[in-house]
A and B are shown apart, each in its own frame.
Chain A
């Protein structure tokens, strides 16, 4: 058993690595120039090139992959020469990078050719003063300095060659002198919980992703609570009435529900409950972050839609498994020896029949996530699915990668649990 578990975990890790490589290759190497989307089609090639450098996209692909996966602060720290640490910015509540210069958190700024140190005070504010003697000289005789700028990049300034860079501000692109020659946008890496900055919003992906994941977890969780008992009930009823009109009715209805795409059932439900009956809100627009708790009605239709889509599939699984069990010799024996029919069904059949659907549901989480994406887009529900959708449309690869990795992790984890549960429940396959 221990060997089996060890093997599962090892193969899971390999799978995750492969997935992350595939994602990275597809999105960062395969896709077009993201700066066109961020800066607009009227930006000049010069502006785009400058912005690409600021995003760290000039580095070779393997380097960016490693950075993305395990971070690059250790690499940057070697260049800067001081340990790099994070501290919370009191204004945004997000983490900022600082160099730890003998206990004093410091960043630098190059202004009119003079290097200034920005020192972080205990209350989060900064003081600045000129510094000198920091410049190093390279083989070509140029003076350069590796430091941290105020945008969380490790940068290399070259004295006298302050290049002109295009800085993206809220008002658009602004040309600035005294710019750095090289950038390393600091990140802790996916494995350390920092998948980088959203290219669309400019905020850390981890910060924006969290409330979305919570919303989706609530949506999927509540839907699950509705689906499971209903599906098992109807599946068992259909299974013990194999071939009778009741079974036909349940089977055909559930086939119809499965074959109807999520967006179709969603729109029909909006039509019925939102427009004709006016009983439920037709869209889930969240006015505040915790609207989901204040106004549970908002998620009524999304839950109903998810239920409609998933119910049919699980009913069919349960029914098939129930029919198989009811056909088996031990059930016939139990009935023949005169046990009450309901007792045979509940005690002997259901317990054996539930094993398959429960594990299948674990494997089905993939499918459920897909359904969640569509349902969230229909209702404008601010969840993980809508997040991936928006990010994919924009081409925001940092966000897509993080969200996709998250869904893959959820899918793989549930599958692993499903596999283990099945092995545990069914001794026949435990050691094979």
Chain B
């Protein structure tokens, strides 16, 4: 009896795990997706490792300036004599793992890119669901509002937000949220328009569920596939944007190293040490390409499964 019970207990979790694994493992059917996932995982692992260990303290100016790669500093040193590898590793944290809050030394888990995308998906989903499901005037007003936001060239909108609010991790999150939300909202709206004609929505309406229940419990879960792919791409855009802002000198503030800003600083001593520009550039490009490939693979497989 006891054995049977424990057997039953044991039997339940693996099936669930296996189901999750089966969901995840569809990505391996796509070679492009697998390559992308490996590239992304590489950076996630680097970020996790950097929490506990970097070769040297990333802000210590202990070495000779602008040395090429050698045994001591595997990727060389920058214009202030800091170890580039350590800085590159530490630079993943602000993007992926932590957000520095303006109050003292408080830190929010989850990087700026992650929160920015979460913000734009949340805002976009609320707007898109309301526009799509309610229709009519609500739809008109929301779409007009989104049209106004979309009309801004993205970088100009970033510049405007930063000119207005100043510099900081939270400001970058706000900027990513505002620029990303219209795209998400349009996607969610078109998905909603499709889903709301289904029978289970009729059923929910007949049960007299509230409008918010229908939007968030019935429609949103059924839109998660395309939304997931879109978010994946958006993390890529966000990292791209953080790099660009860092390069323009208005991104994530010091002391944490920021890849874009590393490129910007190294650019000034490009004659002495051209490779110092190359490493952070490669880091940004590889992470963005990885996310793109991952999303492409995911989309391919998801659409194949749906057919």
Residues of A within 8 A of B (CB): 11, 14-16, 18-19, 22-23, 26-27, 30-32, 255-256, 258-264, 267-268, 270-271, 275, 366-367, 369-370, 373-374, 377, 385, 388-389, 391-393, 395, 397, 400, 403-404, 407-408, 411-412, 415
A369: chain B residues within 8 A (beta carbon) = 153, 155-156
A267: chain B residues within 8 A (beta carbon) = 263, 267, 270, 277, 281
Interchain CB contact under 8 A, A261 and B247: yes
B164: chain A residues within 8 A (beta carbon) = 26-27, 30-31
Interchain CB contact under 8 A, A411 and B148: no
B193: chain A residues within 8 A (beta carbon) = none
Tell me, rounded to whole Å, the shortest Cβ–Cβ distance linking A415 to chain B: 8
**In chain B between 55 and 110, which residues have their CB closer than 8 angstroms to a CB of chain A?**
none
> Which of A19, A261, A263 contacts B152, CB < 8 Å?
A19
Q: A389-B248, A393-B250 are in contact. Are A411 and B243 (CB under 8 A)?
A: no
Given contacts A15-B148, A393-B250, 12 further A-B contacts (CB under 8 A): A15-B144, A15-B151, A31-B164, A261-B288, A366-B152, A369-B155, A369-B156, A374-B247, A395-B163, A404-B152, A404-B159, A408-B152
Interchain CB contact under 8 A, B160 and A27: yes
In whole angstroms, what is the CA distance A71 to B20 when docked? Answer: 62
| 5 A-B contact pairs sorted by A residue (CB < 8 Å) | A19-B152, A267-B267, A366-B153, A374-B248, A404-B156
B285 at the interface (CB under 8 A from A): yes
Q: Mark each residue of chain B from 125 to 151: 1 if its CB lies under 8 Å from any CB of chain A, else 0.
A: 000000000000000000011011111
A258: chain B residues within 8 A (beta carbon) = 292
Q: A19-B151, A259-B292 are in contact. Are A404 and B277 (CB under 8 A)?
A: no
> Which of A271, A377, A388 contacts B277, CB < 8 Å?
A271
In whole angstroms, what is the CA distance A129 to B271 when docked? Answer: 64
**In chain B between 152 and 168, which residues have their CB closer than 8 angstroms to a CB of chain A?**
152-156, 159-166
Interchain CB contact under 8 A, A411 and B285: no
Tell me, rounded to whole Å, the shortest Cβ–Cβ distance linking A229 to chain B: 25
> Which of A256, A373, A392 contacts B162, CB < 8 Å?
A392
> Which of B260, B270, B284, B285 contacts A270, CB < 8 Å?
B270
Tell me, rounded to whole Å, the shortest Cβ–Cβ distance linking B246 to chain A: 9
Q: Mark each residue of chain B from 240 to 267: 1 if its CB lies under 8 Å from any CB of chain A, else 0.
A: 1001100111100000000010011001
Q: A23-B160, A264-B263 are in contact. Are A259 and B289 (CB under 8 A)?
A: yes
In whole angstroms, what is the CA distance A376 to B228 when docked? Answer: 34
Interchain CB contact under 8 A, A255 and B159: no
Most chain B CB neighbours (cut-off 10 Å) among A11, A267, A403, A407: A267
B289: chain A residues within 8 A (beta carbon) = 255-256, 259
B236 at the interface (CB under 8 A from A): yes
A22: chain B residues within 8 A (beta carbon) = 148-149
B247: chain A residues within 8 A (beta carbon) = 261, 263, 374
Tell me, rounded to whole Å, the shortest Cβ–Cβ distance linking B265 to chain A: 12
B274 at the interface (CB under 8 A from A): yes
Q: Mark each residue of chain B from 279 to 298: 1 if its CB lies under 8 Å from any CB of chain A, else 0.
A: 00100110011001100000
Interchain CB contact under 8 A, A370 and B250: no
Interchain CB contact under 8 A, B156 and A275: no
In whole angstroms, what is the CA distance A59 to B267 when docked? Answer: 45
Interchain CB contact under 8 A, A11 and B244: no
In whole angstroms, what is the CA distance A366 to B151 when docked? Answer: 7
A377: chain B residues within 8 A (beta carbon) = 248
Tell me, rounded to whole Å, the shortest Cβ–Cβ distance linking A250 to chain B: 15
Interchain CB contact under 8 A, B148 and A19: yes
Interchain CB contact under 8 A, B155 and A374: yes
> Which of B153, B277, B278, B288 contacts A411, CB < 8 Å?
B153
